[in-house]
Amino acid sequence: MHRIYNSGILAGALVFLISVIVISVGFIPSTANVVTAQIGSMATLQNIDANYAISIIPGASQRESAYHYYPPAVAVPTGTTVAWFNNDFGQPHTVTSGSPNASDIGTVFNSGVMPATANSFFQYTFNRGGDIAYHCIIHPWRAAVVSVSNAIERGTYFGLSSGTGPVWDFNKDFRTLLNIEPLTVPLDRTTPIAYNITISKNDNSTGGDTGNNVFSDTYVTNGEALPLELVRGSGNETISYGPDFSSTGAYHIEGPFFTGNSNYTIRAEITSINDQPPQNQIVDEFSLKTVA
Binding positions for Cu ion, rule: CB under 5 A: 93, 136, 138-139
For Cu ion, the closer of residues 78 and 97 by Cβ is 97
Angle at 141 between CA 140 and CA 146, to 5 degrees: 80
For Cu ion, the closer of residues 84 and 157 by Cβ is 84
CB-based contact 25:137 (threshold 8 Å): yes
Whether the ω angle into residue 71 lies within 30 degrees of 0, i.e. cis, is yes
For Cu ion, the closer of residues 75 and 116 by Cβ is 116
For Cu ion, the closer of residues 124 and 264 by Cβ is 124
The letter for the amino acid at 100 is P
CB of 38 to Cu ion, least distance (A): 17
With CB atoms as reference, the residue minimizing the distance to Cu ion is 136
CB of 141 to Cu ion, least distance (A): 9
For Cu ion, the closer of residues 138 and 148 by Cβ is 138
For Cu ion, the closer of residues 96 and 198 by Cβ is 96
CB of 186 to Cu ion, least distance (A): 42
CB of 209 to Cu ion, least distance (A): 49
CB of 140 to Cu ion, least distance (A): 8
CB of 15 to Cu ion, least distance (A): 20
CB of 49 to Cu ion, least distance (A): 24
For Cu ion, the closer of residues 146 and 180 by Cβ is 146
3-state secondary structure the chain: CCCCCCCCCCHHHHHHHHHHHHHHHCCCCCCCCECCCEECCHHHHHCCCCCEEEEECCCCCCCCCCCCEECCEEEEECCEEEEEEECCCCCCECCEECCCCCCCCCCCCECCCECCCCCEEEEEEECCCEEEEEECCCCCCCCEEEEEECCEEECCCEEEEECCCCEEECCCCCEEEEEEEECCCCCCCCCEEEEEEEEEEECHHHCCCCEEEEEEEEEEEECCCEEEEEEECCCCCCEEECCCCCCCCCEEEEECCCCCCEEEEEEEEEEEECCECCCCCEEEEEEEEEEC
